[in-house]
Chains A and B, each alone.
Chain A
Amino acid sequence: QVSVINTVDTSHEDMIHDAQMDYYGTRLATCSSDRSVKIFDVRNGGQILIADLRGHEGPVWQVAWAHPMYGNILASCSYDRKVIVWKEENGTWEKTYEYTGHDSSVNSVCWAPHDYGLILACGSSDGAISLLSYTGDGQWEVKKISNAHTIGCNAVSWAPAVVPGSLIEQPSGQKPNYIKRFASGGCDNLVKIWKEEDGQWKEEQKLEAHSDWVRDVAWAPSIGLPTSTIASCSQDGRVFIWTCDDASGNSWSPKLLHKFNDVVWHVSWSITANILAVSGGDNKVTLWKESVDGLWACISDVNKGQGGVSAATEGQQNEQ
C-alpha cells in the first residue's frame, strides 16, 4: 500500500546520509558524503533544485529544518566538526551561522520546539552535546554538555513542548515556564534524557537496554496524554519503545519493537505519533503501529531494492 509518488534524482556524487522534508512537505533537503547540502522543491511530484550549499569539508551527516515561523532555515552537521545554519534571504540560501566548537565529527542536529525559541541541539563524536540559541541580531549563545556520552553522541531528539500546569493564555511577550527536555543516544549504548534546570542542563535519566551503539533516538509528538514515548535504535539491531507514564519523568520502561538482522540507522515518528518508520541496513524501511493488545506490528514496508535506505522521515505533503 506504499507507493512511490516521486523520485528525486539529487545528483549527489556520493552516499546520501539524510533526507528531510520541510514542515509542509513542499521542500526536500538532502545531504551527502560529497560534502554538499541540496534543497529541492518537490511540490506536485516535481523536483526543482533550489540550492546547492557548499561549506562543509567532510561528509554531511544530517540536516534539520527549523520551524517556518523563523523563516526558511536549515541546519547541517558534518564530519568536519562543523554545524552550519543556512537561511534563505531574498530568495537565495546563504550560510548564516557556523559553529566550530566541537573537537570531532558532529553527528546529529535537532531543532527544539518553536515555543522555546530558535535553539539547535548538536551531538558529536567528541562526546559533547552543544545547544545553540539564537538571541537576536545574528547572535548565537552556546551551552555545552561535555561528556554527555563517552566515546561519542550519535543522536539528539527534543521532547515536545508541554506547558506544565494550566493552559491559560499567557499575556503577550511573556513566555510560559516550559520544562525543556531532550533525549540523546550514544556510543556508550545508552539513551539519556536531559533536562534544563535553572539555565543548566542536567542528566535526568539513563535508559539502558541496548548492547551496542545507539544510532538514533526519536521523541514522539504529544497528543495530550501525560505519557511520553521515545523510540531508540541501535547497532545491535534492536528498536526499543520507551514509555514513561507519569509527568515527572521518573520511570521509563522499554518495550522491544523488533530485532532486525542488521544495524538499524533511523527511527522517525509520524505527526500524530501513531506510526513509527524504521530504516536499517537490511535495505528496508518498515512502518510500525501499536495494536490493540499493546504489541507493535509491521504494517508496511518499502523495499527500494538496489541500494540500502539510509533515512526515512515523515511529514505531510499537500498537493497544490
Chain B
Amino acid sequence: ALTGCVAGSGEGGPSSSRVFVVRRDQDIYIQTLRKLFNESHGIFIGLQRSEEELAGRSRKAQLVQVSKNYRSVIRACMEDMHQAAISARDPALHSQYITQVSILSAMELIWNLCEILFVEAAAAGLLLLRLLDWVRLHVCDVESMVREVLSSENPSKHELFWNVVDVFVLQGRMDEARHLLSKEASANPMSVNMCKILDDLMKKMPVPSLGNTQTLTEMELKWQHWHEECQRCLQEGTFASNSHMESICKILLGDEDAILEKKELMTTWYHFLVTRLLYSHPTVKPVELQFYAQACMDLFLGGESSPEPLDTILIAAFEFEMHQVIKECSIVLSNWWFVAHLTDLLDHCKLLQSHNLCFGSNMRESLLLEYASGLFSHHSLWQLGVDYFDHCPEYGRAYLELHIERIPLNTEQKALKVLRICEQRQMHEQVRSICKIMAMKALRNNRLGSALSWSIRAKDAAFATLISDRFLKDYCERGCFSDLDLIDNLGPSMLLSDRLTFLGKYREFHRLYGEKRFSEAAKLLLMLMTAHIAPCSFWMTLLTDALPLLEQKEVIFSVEQTYELMRCLEDLTAGKSDKQKFQDDDVENIKVEMLRLALARNLARVIVKEGTLEGS
C-alpha cells in the first residue's frame, strides 16, 4: 500500500500543526483477508510452474482447476468474514465485515462467470448448463423460503408453495419442481390431471447433455417439438383454471412477460437472462450472449434503477470484452488482488493480447507489480510479494530491489531472512547495503561483535577498521577483549582491513602468551611493529605488552629482536617533538624509562646467553 505523509498548514486552526499519515489501498491490513493472500499465493506459484507442455484439453482442464481453486479460496474467506461479522460486537466493525462479504461475493460471481466464458470457454449446450449452475449458486435470497415450504407438513397448503415451484422452474430445477407438483396432485384431486400434463411437459423438456449422446442440431429439433407441444397445451386452455400452472406453462414457453413477473424470485437481471435463455434459446452460442445481455438487463431494471458497477462488469464479460472487465474491476475494487490473479490466469490461457503500456510492460505484469508492491508494506505479507516479483520478467527484479531495501530490519532474524532472499537472487548491492545498515545499528547499540561480523559480511573495509579501532580502544581501557570467539575465528576475512588484521593478530598474540608459547608470542609481537601491521598509536601498548616477556626468568627475545625492539622504541619517542615530550605525563615517561631499562637488561642477558657455547 502506498503510504505518505501530508502536512496540514494554514492560518492557524486545528489542522495547522498536524501531519496526516495517509495510505492508499488499505485492504492488505484486513486480518480476515490474510488467508486469501496466503492461499492464493500458493495457487499462483503452482500455476506459474505448471506444465506448459500439456496441450489442448488437459491444459484447459488444468487451468479450470486452478480457477476453481482460486474461487474456493474466495469462498473460504467469505465464510471467515461472515463468521467474523456475526461475532463482531461493534456495529461499525460488523457492517465493515458485511461489506467485505458482499465484495468477496461479487468477486466470486465475476470470477465464476469469467471461468465459464473465458477459461473453460464452454461451447453452446454446455454453456447453458454452466450458466444455470452459476445462477443457482448465486441466488440465495430464496433459499430460506424454499426450506420453509419443503419442511412444512403440507407443503402444497403453504402460502408460498407456488413461489417455490416457480423458483425451481426459473432455475431449471425440473425434478424438484415435479416433486412438488406431485404433492399438489395428491393433496388436490381437482388438479390431478393438470398436474400430470404439466409434469409430463417438464419431464420431456430437452436439455443439453453433457455427454456426446446428441448433437446440437438434434437437440434443437427436439426442443422445437417440445416447444410446440407446450404451445398447444397453452392454446387449448389446459391450465386455464389454475393461474399458477398457466403461468408456469408460459414460462416454459419463454414468455418474457411471464418470466419478468417473477422478478422478486429472480432478484437479478442475470438470473432473468439465464432463465430466458433456458426457455427460448438453450443452445445459445457464447458469441450470441451479447445480443441478450444488455437487453435483459434493461428490461429487468426497467428504468427504475440504474446499473451498478457489478452490472457493467458482468455485461462486459457477456460481451467477451476481457480488457473491459479487468479495467472496470481495477477501478471499482480497492485492492489489486482480484485483477492481478484473474489477469494472470487469463494470460496463461493465452487470451490476452499484449497491450504495450508506456513502459513496454504488459497488463499482466503491471497488475502483478501493483499487487506485489502493495504487499510490501505489510510486515509479513511482503514475503509473498517476493515471489510475485520473481514472476514479472521485465520489471520484477528492479521493483524487488527497490522495495526490499525498505523493509525495516527490526530483528536479526528478519535481516537474515531479507539477506537470504537477496543472496539467492544475486542482489549484491542490496546485500551490502543491508549488512552495512545492520553493522551501523549494532555499533549504535554497542554490540561490537555483531557490528564487526556484519561489516565483514558487507565487505566494508572502512567500517571494519572503525570497529576494530573500537575494540582496541576498549581493550586499552579495560584490559580485555570482548567477543573473543569472533576475533579468534576471523580466518581469511581478517584481511578485509589492515586494522582488522592487526586486531586478529594482536588477539593471537594474547592467546599465545596465555598458552605460555612465549617465543612465538614474542616473534608475533615484534612482527606486528616491524611489518607495520600495528598502527603507530598502538606501539606504546605493544611495547608495554613486551615488558612481561622481557622480565621472564628465561630470556625470550634474541639479540636481533632486542635491537629491533629498541629501534621501535626510539622511533616512537623520536617521533615526538620536545613539546610533546614535555606535555606527556609522568606515567608515559616512566613507561619509556622502564622499557629502556628492561630492554637493556634483556640485551645484556641475551648477549651472554648467545655468546656462551653449549655445554660450557
16 new A-B pairs (CB below 8 Å) besides A24-B406, A24-B407? A5-B21, A5-B23, A6-B21, A12-B17, A13-B17, A16-B19, A17-B7, A19-B6, A71-B444, A173-B461, A285-B4, A300-B24, A310-B9, A313-B5, A316-B377, A317-B3
Q: Is B225 an interface residue (CB 8 A)?
A: no
Q: Is B328 an interface residue (CB 8 A)?
A: no
Contact A8–B6 (Cβ < 8 Å) = no
Residues of A within 8 A of B334 (CB): 1
Contact B459–A307 (Cβ < 8 Å) = no
Q: Which listed residue, B22, B357, B382, B440, touches A71 by the CB 8 Å rule?
A: B440
The interface of chain A, by Cβ under 8 A from chain B, is: 1-13, 15-21, 23-26, 28, 30, 32, 42, 67-72, 88-90, 114-115, 136, 169, 172-173, 221-225, 268, 270-272, 274-275, 277, 279, 285, 287, 290-294, 300, 302, 304-320
Contact A290–B437 (Cβ < 8 Å) = no
Min C-beta distance of B29 to chain A, whole Å: 7
Docked CA distance A292–B6 (Å): 28
Min C-beta distance of A7 to chain B, whole Å: 6
Docked CA distance A313–B283 (Å): 58
Closest 5 CB pairs of A and B: A307-B10, A172-B459, A6-B21, A69-B436, A24-B408
B438 closest partner in A (C-beta): A69
Residues of B within 8 A of A306 (CB): 8, 10, 13-15
A-B contact pairs, 14 of them (CB 8 A): A1-B25, A5-B26, A7-B20, A12-B16, A13-B17, A17-B7, A23-B406, A28-B19, A224-B395, A307-B8, A310-B8, A312-B6, A318-B377, A318-B379
Contact A19–B7 (Cβ < 8 Å) = yes
Min C-beta distance of B199 to chain A, whole Å: 54
Residues of A within 8 A of B357 (CB): 292
Residues of B within 8 A of A16 (CB): 7-9, 16-17, 19
Q: Which listed residue, B18, B22, B407, B459, touches A3 by the CB 8 Å rule?
A: B22
Q: Which listed residue, B4, B378, B496, touches A312 by the CB 8 Å rule?
A: B4
Most chain A beta-carbon neighbours within 10 Å: one of B23, B359, B382, B444: B23
Min C-beta distance of A23 to chain B, whole Å: 6
Docked CA distance A17–B382 (Å): 33
Residues of A within 8 A of B13 (CB): 306-307
Residues of A within 8 A of B406 (CB): 23-25, 271, 315-316
Residues of A within 8 A of B461 (CB): 172-173
Residues of A within 8 A of B24 (CB): 1-3, 287, 300
Contact A223–B395 (Cβ < 8 Å) = yes
Contact B14–A311 (Cβ < 8 Å) = no
Docked CA distance A272–B370 (Å): 10
Min C-beta distance of A275 to chain B, whole Å: 6
**CB within 8 Å for A8 and B2 given contacts A316-B403, A317-B377:** no
Residues of B within 8 A of A1 (CB): 24-25, 334
**CB within 8 Å for A30 and B395 given contacts A6-B20, A318-B379:** no
Residues of B within 8 A of A72 (CB): 444
Most chain A beta-carbon neighbours within 10 Å: one of B22, B26, B397: B22
Docked CA distance A293–B356 (Å): 9
Docked CA distance A317–B598 (Å): 64
Q: Is B355 an interface residue (CB 8 A)?
A: yes
A136 closest partner in B (C-beta): B462
**CB within 8 Å for A25 and B9 given contacts A302-B22, A306-B15:** no
Q: Is B428 an interface residue (CB 8 A)?
A: yes
Q: Which listed residue, B4, B29, B496, touches A172 by the CB 8 Å rule?
A: B496
Q: Is B402 an interface residue (CB 8 A)?
A: yes
Docked CA distance A17–B403 (Å): 28
Docked CA distance A24–B373 (Å): 14
Docked CA distance A275–B7 (Å): 19
Contact B21–A4 (Cβ < 8 Å) = yes
Residues of A within 8 A of B3 (CB): 5, 21, 25, 314-317
Q: Is B508 an interface residue (CB 8 A)?
A: no
Contact B408–A10 (Cβ < 8 Å) = no
In the complex, chain B residues 1-49 whose Cβ is within 8 Å of any chain A Cβ: 2-11, 13-26, 29
Contact A309–B8 (Cβ < 8 Å) = yes
**CB within 8 Å for A223 and B402 given contacts A25-B3, A306-B10:** yes
Interface range on chain B (Cβ under 8 Å from partner)? 35 or more
Min C-beta distance of B193 to chain A, whole Å: 62
A270 closest partner in B (C-beta): B2
**CB within 8 Å for A275 and B2 given contacts A169-B428, A224-B397:** yes
Residues of B within 8 A of A3 (CB): 22-24, 26
Contact B16–A307 (Cβ < 8 Å) = yes
Most chain B beta-carbon neighbours within 10 Å: one of A6, A26, A90: A6
Contact A268–B4 (Cβ < 8 Å) = yes
Docked CA distance A317–B382 (Å): 12
Q: Is B399 an interface residue (CB 8 A)?
A: yes
Q: Is B214 an interface residue (CB 8 A)?
A: no
Min C-beta distance of B580 to chain A, whole Å: 20
Q: Is B376 an interface residue (CB 8 A)?
A: yes
Min C-beta distance of A123 to chain B, whole Å: 20
B371-408 Cβ-contact flags toward A at 8 Å (1 or 0): 00100111100100000000000010111001101111
Q: Is B358 an interface residue (CB 8 A)?
A: yes
Residues of A within 8 A of B6 (CB): 19, 279, 285, 302, 304, 309, 311-312
A225 closest partner in B (C-beta): B359
Contact B433–A271 (Cβ < 8 Å) = no
Docked CA distance A317–B374 (Å): 11
Residues of A within 8 A of B379 (CB): 318-320
Residues of A within 8 A of B433 (CB): 67, 69, 114
**CB within 8 Å for A172 and B399 given contacts A314-B2, A319-B29:** no
Docked CA distance A13–B12 (Å): 9
Docked CA distance A88–B369 (Å): 36
Contact B4–A223 (Cβ < 8 Å) = no
Contact A19–B5 (Cβ < 8 Å) = yes
Contact A318–B19 (Cβ < 8 Å) = no
Residues of B within 8 A of A19 (CB): 5-7, 19
Docked CA distance A316–B377 (Å): 6
**CB within 8 Å for A172 and B7 given contacts A271-B403, A272-B403:** no
B8 closest partner in A (C-beta): A307
Min C-beta distance of A119 to chain B, whole Å: 15
Residues of A within 8 A of B2 (CB): 270, 275, 287, 314
Contact B23–A223 (Cβ < 8 Å) = no
Contact A4–B22 (Cβ < 8 Å) = yes
**CB within 8 Å for A294 and B358 given contacts A13-B17, A88-B444, A277-B4:** yes
Residues of A within 8 A of B17 (CB): 9-13, 16, 32
Q: Is B460 an interface residue (CB 8 A)?
A: yes
Docked CA distance A3–B96 (Å): 15
Min C-beta distance of B111 to chain A, whole Å: 21
Contact B9–A309 (Cβ < 8 Å) = yes
Docked CA distance A16–B14 (Å): 13
Contact B402–A221 (Cβ < 8 Å) = yes
Docked CA distance A229–B597 (Å): 72
A31 closest partner in B (C-beta): B7
B466 closest partner in A (C-beta): A136
B404-422 Cβ-contact flags toward A at 8 Å (1 or 0): 0111101000000000000
Docked CA distance A99–B461 (Å): 29
Docked CA distance A42–B3 (Å): 12
Min C-beta distance of B375 to chain A, whole Å: 11
